[in-house]
Structure 1
Amino acid sequence: MPSKTFKNLKEEKRVNITNALLEEFSNYSLANAQVARIIVLAHISRGAFYSYFDDLKDSYRYLFSIVMQKVHTGVEIRHFENLKGDDYFKFVKNFIETKEDDKYFLFIKRYFLENERLIDVGIDFSSERRLVKGSMFNWAATTLSHETIRQYFLMPDLKSTILEHFKKSIIKLEG
């Protein structure tokens, strides 16, 4: 994660660097990303970059955490404890439709296509607070919702088909 030096920068400079990271990691996989392009976009020196981050992976983890916070703003697991199938469908459909023009779309797509297997982003999937409470239906529906969203990012041209499969599956799951 970023150094104390980075955290102490003026907000405008942190935002500028974060935007440069987003540009780089939206257009290049982690394997093909370059500090050289980032520092040009961010208007910082190579030495400054390495005073803020340990390496490219460290800067990627930082950006990933920022993107996930932004994408999940207003989405809390407790909101999913007693939803019905149609509620899940409406939520996922709305979520996907709001992400189509989102500035993080390409970053998330590239994560699923190329970077997911290259880096541990530090998400603790074993954490009990991440465990969906409620019925087995809610657990299964939440898991299916995430997979539907993942498939959409991998194949956005198949959005209608993906949503149709999700709707049929969630209705069948609900029984």
Structure 2
Amino acid sequence: MVSNTFENLDTDKKTRIIDSLLNEFSNHTLNEAQVSRIVKESGIARGAFYKYFDDLKDAYSHLYGIAMRDIHQDIETERSESPSAYVQQTREFVEKSKDSRFYSLVKMHILHNESTFVSVFDDHLITESEYHWATQVMIHETIKQIMLEPSAKEILLKKLANILTTLATEEK
């Protein structure tokens, strides 16, 4: 967990470190990332890195959290299970990601790092409806496919809409 020491750094130093983390994790998988490159680019001591973060995974998690807050900040997330609402949220996420300084990080996460963060079985998977579970799986896969082939975005979103509409009909 990111330390209070890091949170209390002056803005310039914190920005330098965040920018270095972004560069490292946008260009290297978590398994290939190196503290040495981060500390060199940010101009901090190796010991300071470990004073701010437990390890690379901790630094990555902190940075990815910043990215998700930045991308999600203006996306309407009202709890609606309508297919059109899910498709619109997916479209907005893809577009905000593409236009974000965090795009390479998000793409690296979805294509290479995500499995590192899969936790043990989550009880909510048992209690949520099949429609909600399937919707989340389909949305995630659609985002991944769009990141792999951006020119197919509209086709993939249309397929998502069709599948979610079919699933919603089955749910009723």
**TM-score bracket for this pair, using the shorter chain length:** 0.7 to 0.9
**TM-score normalised per structure 1:** 0.78
- Give CA-to-partner distance per residue, 1:47-82, whole Å, 9 cap, x none: 2212212221221122122222222224575x123x
- Give CA-to-partner distance per residue, 1:1-59, whole Å, 9 cap, x none: 22222122112211221111011100111111111221122121222212212221221
Give the residue type in structure 1 aligned to 2:122.
S
Alignment of 1:80-95 (within 5 A): 80-81=79-80, 83-95=81-93
The separation in 2 between residues aligned to 1:4 and 1:92, in whole angstroms, is 34
Matched, 1:43 2:43: yes
CA 1:44–1:145: 2 relative to 1, 3 Å: same
CA 1:41–1:125: 2 relative to 1, 3 Å: farther
Matched, 1:69 2:69: yes
Of 156, 162, 168, the match for 1:168: 162
CA 1:137–1:53: 2 relative to 1, 3 Å: closer
Count of aligned pairs? 167
Alignment of 1:1-175 (within 5 A): 1-75=1-75, 79-81=78-80, 83-117=81-115, 119-120=116-117, 126=122, 137=131, 140-175=134-169
Q: Which runs of 5+ in 1 are unaligned?
A: none
Tell me if the contact between 2:75 and 2:89 (Cα under 8 Å) persists in the aligned partners: no
Q: Secondary structure at the match of 2:30?
A: coil
- Give CA-to-partner distance per residue, 1:90-138, whole Å, 9 cap, x none: 3322332222221111101111211122x237x798376xx87xx7655
Tell me if the contact between 2:6 and 2:52 (Cα under 8 Å) persists in the aligned partners: yes
Higher percent of residues as helix: 2
Greater displacement, 38-47 / 137-146: 137-146
Tell me if the contact between 1:80 and 1:138 (Cα under 8 Å) persists in the aligned partners: no
Greater displacement, 139-148 / 23-32: 139-148
Larger RCO (alpha carbons 8 Å, 6+ apart): 1
CA 1:95–1:58: 2 relative to 1, 3 Å: closer
**TM-score normalised per structure 2:** 0.79
Q: Secondary structure at the match of 1:149?
A: helix
Q: Which runs of 5+ in 2 are unaligned?
A: none
The separation in 2 between residues aligned to 1:100 and 1:74, in whole angstroms, is 14
